[in-house]
Structure 1
């Protein structure tokens, strides 16, 4: 019987995918980043980057994004939407980035166009359970330093896209929140998304106008301050109102 040779899929050296996974922990917006280890001028360096890589010649973009995110972070069953392509000739101007990528892919790399994907998630223990195994970390937006390639720009553009997207699809915000949430958590999220403070009283009026944000009988327990009421997002009411 003839042996079947296992071949490594061929990478497309000009197209990559990058995944911007943005989460909310109730207080801060965070981005999922992975650690990168490389060598420059004989010295080892450590920095961070978005989960991303070159695509294979035999896979489409959506498949590539899911594969890359899973391989680099362990995350699966995460909704990813394509939001922008980045193709500046300066994306690969830093020799450190190219040297690292060529060693990682064992192939010559020149100019690369990347297709950026976005996912909005709520940060919980289930989602973050295995991240340490992949050296993947949630980093608060304000704590993100210089990243590989043009990944700082990609994150910046992702935030612009989110602001535009939630104007048309407000339900996307609730993907970042737990099943039950307080008005304070929702207001904090709005403030972070739009980068501006929101008056508490006006925001409570805004919530009252959102038929799909339903107050619950349940309140917070074991808190030092006055217990706040919980709310929930009702998808059925949302679809009816938005129809």
Structure 2
């Protein structure tokens, strides 16, 4: 619904959360993605996207982010931090994305127009338990090198998350140890830091 105020047009805005989970499997970083499946007039589509959802009337943003992860991936008790908001008018420019969103949330009366999303970031260790759990929900831990196109503007959110990780690690250094096994070597820690900072470290220093 749109409302006229003077010369300006005020629109009703949907609010969503999108979660960027970057996991370390001991050798490389992977991002958790889910499927966006549907049909349109020119055929079926099967795209990848970040786990996300519109928020419900009875929940706040953090509650919505926790619900999204549990419903779409089966994961619980994941520590996440907000890192950016996205509100471009072009976020819903692709009719395919809007069609999927309206069908997924069973929106029939108030059509989806502008969507403002709050992005969350989490770094975690990929262990056997959460790998099996996400497989059950058809979520996939995708190597960063294989991420190409994503639904909505999720590729931009994903890229911004990667850029934010260095700052995130600097302000939350303990998260690095959460990515490693209980017993780890100096070499494993060095590999992890090299992946985060995208440069070689001299172990002699």
**TM-score (normalised: structure 1):** 0.75
Partner of 2:72: 72
Q: Does residue 101 of the first structure (1) align with residue 101 of the second (2)?
A: yes
2-structure distance, mates of 1:196, 1:93: 37
Q: 1:173, 1:84 → 2: CA distance?
A: 21
CA distance in 2, matches of 1:193, 1:25: 14
Distance in structure 2 (CA, Å) of the matches to 1:135 and 1:67: 17
Q: Does 1:154 align with 2:157?
A: yes
1:182 equivalent in alignment to 2:191:
no
Q: How far has the Cα of 1:48 moved from its partner? A: 0.6
Out of 121, 125, 143, the residue aligned to residue 124 of structure 2 is: 121
Separation in 1, partners of 2:96, 2:41: 9
| Unpaired runs of at least 5, structure 1 | 1-11, 203-243
Distance 1:16 1:44 in 2: 25
CA displacement at 1:86 relative to structure 2? 1.0
Q: Which residue of 1 aligns with 2:87?
A: 87
Between 1 and 2, higher relative CO (CA 8 Å, sep ≥ 6) is seen in 2
Number of residue pairs matched? 191
Distance 1:27 1:94 in 2: 36
Cα shift at 1:196: 2.0
Residue 168 of structure 1, aligned match among 163, 168, 171: 171
2:145 maps to 142
Q: Is the 8 A contact 1:13 1:54 kept in 2?
A: no
Q: CA RMSD for the aligned pairs?
A: 1.5
Structure 1: how far apart are the matches of 2:74 and 2:145? 25
Alignment gaps of 5+ in structure 2: 1-11
Query: What CA distance in whole angstroms lies between the structure 1 residues aligned with 2:171 and 2:44?
Result: 46
- Matched residue SS, 2:184: strand
Query: For the Cα contact (< 8 Å) 1:18–1:115, is it kept in 2?
Result: yes
Q: Which residue of 2 aligns with 1:33?
A: 33
- Contact 1:34 1:51 (C-alpha < 8 Å) held by counterparts: yes
Structure showing the higher helix proportion among its residues:
1
Give the structure-2-normalised TM-score: 0.88
